[in-house]
Amino acid sequence: MRYLVLAAALAAVATLSLLVGPGDLGDAALRGTFLSLRAARVSGAMLAGGALGAAGALVQGLFRNPLASPSILGTTAGASFGGQVVLLAHASLASAGWLAWVAPEMVLPIGCLTGAFVSLAVLLAFVRRGADLLSLLLIGFALTSLFLALGSFLTTLAQERYELGRAVVAFTLGGLGGVDWTHVRLAIPLVAVAVVAGWLWGRPLDVLLAGEMEAASLGVDVPRTRRWTIAWVGVLTAAAVAIGGNIAFVGLVVPHALRPFFGAEHRRLIPAAVLGGATFLGACDLLARVLPTRVEAPLGVVTGLIGAPLFLLLLVRTRREGVA
């Protein structure tokens, strides 16, 4: 029943997103084009949101911490930086006559994946030395700052060429304005495989909630579980970033909001987080489109405006309850 409520919310947001936006659907000649463009954008938003929701549920389970999320831990920034590197590298190679036949969006996921994995690997190296919540958040902050600084440098380099500069800035800010069916078709297998695989790892992650030593005593292969969970979090984050750029807070807010209704068991939470994440990001994108601003508000700005106060609220509540 609870999944049905989420599915109904998702369907409502999808329908609204198809109906609302610039362009007159009453024009029979253009209706099909408008609907196709909007459908690609809605699908992209929902894929990215679902991926970030699932990634958030997985990463919160792995770190046994409700405040963990790909954006807080620097994974999103890592994926975003990886994407920027690939965009720049592709442009340079294309101008030299290499790889010109490959569209940038085809190679973007590779850069995002590499960036996400590098970021997660650094984080995990610290976690294995026994980092507490505060250290974890600080490491995430440091990683985010580092990748943003490096990304800013790349953005500056990209300004030498107008089109490339625009593409890198748009990708960095996060948005779904440029999403087409190519993006969606590329991301669908990545997200589908990673969600199913993450769901399959749900049971050892449940046992791991009791800590690594207890989980090992119950038969969980802890290093393997950690390795694979990180791999799927990396794939999900990279897929989301490849679609919509640097979108913060979805992976944090969605699983946290759904846990009271679906429980802490990952095999219940992950499907809910996929539906919830898709609905949340779809709604944020709709909001970004209808906000009365002169230019469309970047999606990352909308999710940040909603997510940041919620994160602070959760941080205060978590510390008060002694979980930290």
> Which residues of the chain form contacts with another protein (CB under 8 A)?
64, 200, 203-204, 206-207, 209-211, 213-214, 216-221, 259-260, 263-265, 323
C-alpha to C-alpha distance for 51 and 239, rounded to whole angstroms = 7
Among 76, 141, 172, smallest CA distance to 315 is for 141
Tokens at 82, concatenated: 């990886």
Closest approach, Cβ 273 to another protein, in A, equals: 15
Residue with smaller CB distance to another protein, 180 or 214? 214
Residue with smaller CB distance to another protein, 22 or 322? 322
Tokens at 96, concatenated: 């030299």
Residue with smaller CB distance to another protein, 26 or 219? 219
Closest approach, Cβ 310 to another protein, in A, equals: 19
Tokens at 134, concatenated: 């505060």
Closest approach, Cβ 132 to another protein, in A, equals: 12
Tokens at 142, concatenated: 């440091």
Residue with smaller CB distance to another protein, 263 or 309? 263
Tokens at 285, concatenated: 């994108």
Residue with smaller CB distance to another protein, 112 or 215? 215
C-alpha to C-alpha distance for 212 and 74, rounded to whole angstroms = 23
Residue 245's alpha-carbon distances to 14, 105, 109, 305, in angstroms, are 20, 12, 11, 16
Residue with smaller CB distance to another protein, 264 or 308? 264
Evaluate whether 302 touches 174 at the Cβ level (below 8 Å). no
Question: 266-290 vs 2-19: helix axis angle to the nearest 10?
Answer: 20
Closest approach, Cβ 127 to another protein, in A, equals: 14
Residue 205's alpha-carbon distances to 64, 80, 92, 229, in angstroms, are 9, 27, 42, 9
283: which DSSP letter? H
Q: Which amino acid is at 176?
A: L
Among 39, 34, 321, 70, smallest CA distance to 181 is for 39
Closest approach, Cβ 191 to another protein, in A, equals: 21
Closest approach, Cβ 217 to another protein, in A, equals: 4
Alpha-carbon Rg of the chain, whole angstroms? 19
Residue with smaller CB distance to another protein, 265 or 296? 265
Evaluate whether 17 touches 282 at the Cβ level (below 8 Å). yes
Evaluate whether 25 touches 31 at the Cβ level (below 8 Å). yes
Query: How many CA atoms does the CB half-sphere of 186 hold within 13 Å?
Result: 21
Closest approach, Cβ 21 to another protein, in A, equals: 40
Closest approach, Cβ 199 to another protein, in A, equals: 10
Residue with smaller CB distance to another protein, 127 or 281? 127
C-alpha to C-alpha distance for 210 and 66, rounded to whole angstroms = 14
